[in-house]
Amino acid sequence: MSQPTFSSTSQTTITPHNQQPFVTRNYPTESELDATIVRAAEAQKAWAKVPLEERIKIGRKFIDEFKSLAQSSEPNLSLELTLQMGRPISQIQAEINGFLDRAGYMLSIASEALADIPLTDTDKPGFRRFIKRTPLGVILVIAPWNYPYLTSINSVLPALISGNAVLLKPSPQTPLTAERFASALVSAGVPPDVIQVVHLSPELTRHAVENKNVQFVSFTGSVGGGKKVEEAAVNAKGFKGVALELGGKDPAYVRADADLDYTVAELVDGAMYNSGQSCCAIERIYVHESIYDPFVEKYANIVKQNYKLEDPTLPTTNLGPVVSLASAERIRKQVDDAVKAGAKKLIPEELFPEAKIGTTYVAPQVLVNVDHSMDVMMASPTTNPHEETFGPVVGIQKVSSDEEAIKLMNDSPYGLTASVWTSASTSESSEEAFLNIADQIETGTVFLNRCDYLDPALAWTGVKDSGRGISLSRFGFDQLTRAKSVHMKIKTG
């Protein structure tokens, strides 16, 4: 199986495209893990006393350290990540750039986001009152494999800048990403016990979540994984916070006045990039009936002509394998089930000869004649434990009105992102129409004329089964700190 293999004491990462072992990491014992957490708790006390501006300065040095690491030939971060999770090497630099951009933005707002909030006391002479943000303590960050740098930066760096210690548990599919991240932080001046990488089995992960010295858990991954983390946190002694950034079944609605050429190209990329393995990838598209036929024709033509499914280490490849054989089988089954239920495939699989049964190469597919009885359009955690298609597959459905599109977009247990495609940028009335639609969509982020993107200035959050908690933006600092009120009666006379 081209997914990590496990023993009771170790994990081995399997390279998706050639199914060869890549790297093995050993697990600690429970007592060793407990000792690691104790060291983090002790180191955090000293780290919290480092002035905020000094921590920010270390953060800026970290950016320089990581840039140098990314530019070096040994290790080759791009090749290393491709070999771990299968994304084409031609696309890895974009994740590294995004990682650094998010780091820079969160550092730029840290002073303001973490500053004391004074209260004016003109109505209460003799008193001084203010609210300060204080660190939580030890934070466990559980990162996924599909964008391991981009997702981990969202919580790790803000947690450290806020004065917390961090235990970073990477996916067993991408263990080296956490090690590179932590190495650059330590080189920049973060004490080694303040940022520690922990490779853990599911049982050890639960043990860490339940540990009394872990005050907060930030988890990014599946709904099933999020439920297990929350259950462990509830079973722990005392009370601890949990942020759950989970899956999505993200929709797009193309209105009658959309710029067709631009919209089609963007939505193809939004569905196919990283082989569709993104929590905010486009999985279902609703198109106004007046432009449905030309939209579908243009969409299918781009997919047929623009993608090369091959070895992801080749610089010409722009569509790589999915992460595992199990994932490939599940994606193919969703497509087959949809076809049996009446859907029509528009992409001949012979255009992609690498996509053979028994491999991790999955041909991109565009489905029409779809409806919400099919998992490709409305996966349910009750009937489909994997929630998302998480592959290079999209369904396109015809709608007759904004109202029908809104109803279908909301007909999902998930609500991470949604996008609307219209000429709102050139028409005040169209912008008003977009904002009216945006208010009715049950989602954490709503886009106009773009998709599959995180702006670090905006809060990244979900509704319904897409989870709870916030990362990025100034609100991302709030969940990694607690408010502490200071109320002073000043003696006068």
Contact 475, 121 (CB under 8 A): no
Short-list 285, 311, 239, CA closest to 451: 285
Q: Where does residue 203 rank: exposed (0-12), middle (13-18), buried (19+ CB within 10 A)? A: exposed
Q: What does the alpha-carbon distance between residue 175 and residue 148 come to, in Å, rounded to a whole number?
A: 9
Extended beta strands in 33-171, E state: 117-119, 127-135, 138-142, 165-169
Q: Answer left, alpha or beta for residue 285, where phi above 0 means left and psi between -120 and 50 means alpha.
A: beta
CA of residue 342 relative to chain centroid, distance: 33
What is the C-alpha R_g of the chain?
Answer: 24
Query: End-to-end CA distance of the chain, in Å?
Result: 78
| Annotation marks residue 283 as catalytic | no
Q: What is the DSSP code string of 410-450?
A: HSSSEESEEEEESSGGG-HHHHHHHHHHHHHS-SSEEEES-
The DSSP bridge partners found for residue 460 are 471
Q: What does the alpha-carbon distance between residue 243 and residue 142 come to, in Å, rounded to a whole number?
A: 10
The DSSP bridge partners found for residue 319 are 309
Per residue in 132-171, is it b (16+ CB within 10 Å) or e — as a string? ebebbbbbbbbbbbbbbbbbbbbbbbbbbbbbbbbbbbbb
Q: What is the DSSP code string of 81-116?
A: HHHHH---GGGHHHHHHHHHHHHHHHHHHHHHHTS-
> What are the two backbone dihedrals, phi and then psi, of residue 469, each rounded to the nearest 5 degrees?
100, 165
The first and second tokens of residue 173, run together, are 């599919």
Among 95, 245, 354, 388, which one carries the catalytic annotation?
Answer: 245
Q: What does the alpha-carbon distance between residue 346 and residue 301 come to, in Å, rounded to a whole number?
A: 9
Contact 418, 251 (CB under 8 A): yes
Question: Known catalytic residues?
Answer: 245
